[in-house]
Structure 1
């Protein structure tokens, strides 16, 4: 059987760099064979973060940032090819998500938009492999949220025949996939797959940690675990209307950003360590509440993304979800930092095959759509 290889690249809202995977679909299933990662150069990371909010000369700055992002993507692809001993011709396509800097589906003119900085033509030029990019905009054009796009992949990877499971990705923003049991026929007989953004993931925690400790994130959640949750602040944070909104729904740094946090902190004088504890509790409670509200029958909650390495957050999720096993995706065969990149390898393959990549039950689009634009090598 001929090899069928795809590369997936992901740089998420946490802005901690790029993860890439080489995946083999030769037997119809996905097997991740290699993983590579690269941090963003500090100047590029700062610019990508700044471009999440309006500023001067945005078009020029965004274009140059996209060039820089394509350079990091190309480095990760070269790492993967070298590790696997492959030539560019041995890979069918690369799925490159791009860096989301605005996400406003359904707003302004009823269509809205989602914007991922990327330069897929430059990437194709650098690596000599077909590139699939711009995955979200077709779903938005069809009336959907354009996010999350990973539930279809989660169904293929983590779905079970005899049990409902939930998959929680905790990146900068947290999103949830709800997978009913498929039964022996492989078809869901108790409703469709659902999925939506829950609210903040690591974005606010990372911001606060960087601001007060100089560290990019709270390793294992140890700083938060040493603090005390502040009930009044937690109540103000949880009062955000998005958290109670009925799906389909998606969000990003457009909403959950330092200005949002500052407005809720006000002039309150709280110890930074206690604010960190409260922000971690916000993420845990928002995610747990959505599981209990929408899929209390789930047997397991499979956690991926950077949040899966936050031991304190995982413990809080377990405490808030009695009767539901909370575990890392590593316990189901794929390490947390590889899941989203693998999803975009899967979505790239779907685009090449002209197969739909979205789920209307998740995004609210008018139907199934082929996602992505192909840039030939």
Structure 2
């Protein structure tokens, strides 16, 4: 595909991650240096969020429920797209494509039959119909078909946006699950999922306070870490596996957490458990950065976890030799990064260029990712 050098090169990226907190959308111009022109976000309707969370585990009548949830998700995506267009004063025809990741409800690559699967609920045909814009979706399955994990897909984007020649850098995305991109000075980009992000903290907070997340980590900061529980959590084998590796709510679920908490003595304070879960996330991220960071002295953090001041402070304390800061310092606010990544991946697809890094996902080689649903 020939891209004009004199007109805007506009894409929309949509992301609803494993935190299940809602949808972030960005309008991006890739003409010259990438620039986010607009950002819009919306929270999930309570019923849709509950259904998406339920669909992460086996249940009754899943196919029917998943299809309807995908329709509702596509309608919500379309609302974010329309909001972005209104904010920018643009017609749909001005945008080349929408990159729509969908909502991951199962992630089991390389399992069962050797290939496994990854499943993102979405209805990109309905989204294309509602918006009048071509949609690129289903980014992960081609990498899985090529023997990879299907995740993480963002390290190549992180390198294109944050990478600097001759400078080692780490980028940590803390969504429901945390993933680390390693951008060494020699350009050999790496990356992997390092463990839980907000998923466990959010679930515990919702259960005990009724709030969907621990605002700025204040509730965790009011508690005390339980050393025996922390040691037990850190014994999870996934944390010690070498890359390539990826994970999701299939492992770090509320059921997994309940098993870990089963031996706690009666009367254990809920805020102490929250403090321990926050420390667990911080330790998993910091240990991964220390083990695989290739002497990087800067760590940029994006995703919702970057807005958790207590979590950020703990990661910084655990990595005293590394300068830890949010991606805002590099010109891209934390809640825009992943959405922008899927705008970038959609552009790669339309240009016939690979979106994965085989050394990151373990795939047999670079692949053009995604399926295109024309406007």
TM-score under structure 1 length normalisation? 0.97
Dislocated runs of 4+, deviation >2 Å: none
Report matched runs for 1:250-269 at 5 Å. Answer: 250-269=246-265
Report matched runs for 1:126-275 at 5 Å. Answer: 126-181=130-185, 188=187, 192-269=188-265, 270-275=268-273
- 1: CA distance, partners of 2:320 / 2:295: 12
| 2:368 counterpart of 1:375 | no
Give the CA deviation at 1:296: 4.7
Deviations 1:189-241 (A, max 9, x none): xxx21100000000000000010011110000011011100000001101100
1:318 counterpart (312, 316, 319): 316
- Contact residue 190 and residue 360 of structure 2 kept, 8 A: yes
- Contact residue 359 and residue 367 of structure 1 kept, 8 A: yes
Report matched runs for 1:1-377 at 5 Å. Answer: 1-27=6-32, 29-181=33-185, 188=187, 192-269=188-265, 270-377=268-375
Residue aligned with 1:197, SS:
strand
- Contact residue 8 and residue 343 of structure 1 kept, 8 A: yes
* Aligned match of 1:185: none
Deviations 1:264-301 (A, max 9, x none): 11141321000000000000000100111111501101
Residue aligned with 1:374, SS:
strand
| Structure 1: runs of 5 or more not aligned | 183-187
- Contact residue 184 and residue 294 of structure 2 kept, 8 A: no
Give the CA deviation at 1:162: 2.6
- 2: CA distance, partners of 1:58 / 1:30: 40
Alignment size in residue pairs: 368
Give the CA deviation at 1:323: 1.2
- 1: CA distance, partners of 2:104 / 2:34: 26
TM-score under structure 2 length normalisation? 0.97
- 1: CA distance, partners of 2:369 / 2:102: 14
Residue aligned with 2:7, SS:
coil
Residue aligned with 2:359, SS:
helix
Residue aligned with 1:37, SS:
strand
- 1: CA distance, partners of 2:295 / 2:263: 42
- 1: CA distance, partners of 2:310 / 2:294: 22
- 2: CA distance, partners of 1:174 / 1:120: 26
- Contact residue 163 and residue 299 of structure 1 kept, 8 A: no
- Contact residue 168 and residue 294 of structure 2 kept, 8 A: no
Residue aligned with 2:78, SS:
helix
| Structure 2: runs of 5 or more not aligned | 1-5
Deviations 1:129-172 (A, max 9, x none): 00000000000000000000000000001111132000000000
- Contact residue 139 and residue 365 of structure 1 kept, 8 A: yes
- 2: CA distance, partners of 1:237 / 1:267: 12
Deviations 1:30-71 (A, max 9, x none): 110100011111000000000000000000000000000000
- Contact residue 159 and residue 179 of structure 1 kept, 8 A: yes
- Contact residue 150 and residue 343 of structure 1 kept, 8 A: yes
- 1: CA distance, partners of 2:200 / 2:23: 20
- 1: CA distance, partners of 2:185 / 2:345: 22
Residue aligned with 1:6, SS:
strand
